[in-house]
Amino acid sequence: MNSYVFKVEEQFNNYSVLNFLKAIGLSQEIIKSVKFNGLFVNDIKVKNINDTLTRGDQVKIVFTDVLNPYARQENGNLTVLYEDDYLLVVNKESGVLTHSSRYNKTPSLEGLVYNYCKNSPFTFRPINRLDKDTCGIVLIAKDELVASLLNEELKQGKFEKRYIAKVKNKPLKSHFIIEKPIARQSESSIKRVIDKSGQYAKTECFYLGEDGGGLHNIEVLLHTGRTHQIRVHLSSVNLPLYADALYGEKVEGKTYYLNAYKLTFTHPFLNKEIEITATI
């Protein structure tokens, strides 16, 4: 269980509890989850979120963690890149699922994080999610409020996410931008396609040169965050990731290389820019 106390400053005098919560950045989902049992003003439970606040009031918000019933502690390597009271940043290995699931028994980042945090109440809330075979940085909020604030920052495009991708073909330009809408191929398919009916997507690419093993390195800056965006966009310009069986060519015994190696964001409580870099 986590709690936060906010003092009502002069600019919020005569605000309702509801409008105060909105003003400090809480989402509708968060407000809904705490309004019956998790809201207190001057240590008295709030019965009506339309009650009026007065300058100097103390608004307390209490969150109760709800665990994933399919999560299980898993032993294994967990590389922690950054940690404080509010968030955890780790480096996910290729081949590891982000989430645990009921039917999938393969290793998951969720299981490794639960094992790491086993001595404290914790709900796994990744802000950015990586595909199983994509490696790199995953940002994890330690409670519901931090998750809400970071998700809003992500939604507003304030995160800077950079990746390294390995492709077989050499790009024609050292710098290029791909702006093509992405849609699901069909309702039952995980595959995405370029389609005018899809969601707007923008990918910026920088050619870094050969990697010494016959492949080419491309740095990718994501301006939007659609499912499989990098893989779909690069494939659409004849630069599919090497060994990407879904969007390129299958290579027996190999999988594609896509590394989320750099993440920059503003810390929601420390109010400072955090830049995390992982091993390439």
Which residues are identified as catalytic? 131
Please spell the DSSP secondary structure of 240-254, one letter per residue. PBTT-TTTS---TT-
Instruction: Quote the Cα angle for 241-256-261, to 5°.
Output: 90
For 271: left if phi > 0, alpha if psi spans -120 to 50, otherwise beta; the answer is left
The count of C-alpha atoms lying within 13 angstroms of the C-alpha of 73, restricted to the half-sphere facing its C-beta, is: 10
Q: Which residues contact 155 (CB under 8 A, 6 or more apart)?
A: none
Could you count the other beta carbons within 10 Å of the beta carbon of residue 70? 14
Cα separation, 12 vs 116, in Å, equals 40
Could you count the other beta carbons within 10 Å of the beta carbon of residue 29? 12
Output phi, psi for 215, to 5 deg. Answer: -110, 170
Question: E strands, the chain, where?
Answer: 2-7, 39-41, 44-45, 58-63, 79-83, 87-92, 125-126, 135-141, 160-167, 175-179, 182-184, 192-194, 202-210, 216-222, 258-266, 273-277
Question: Tokens representing 238?
Answer: 């004849």
Cα separation, 181 vs 15, in Å, equals 42
Cα separation, 195 vs 43, in Å, equals 53
Cα separation, 255 vs 94, in Å, equals 9
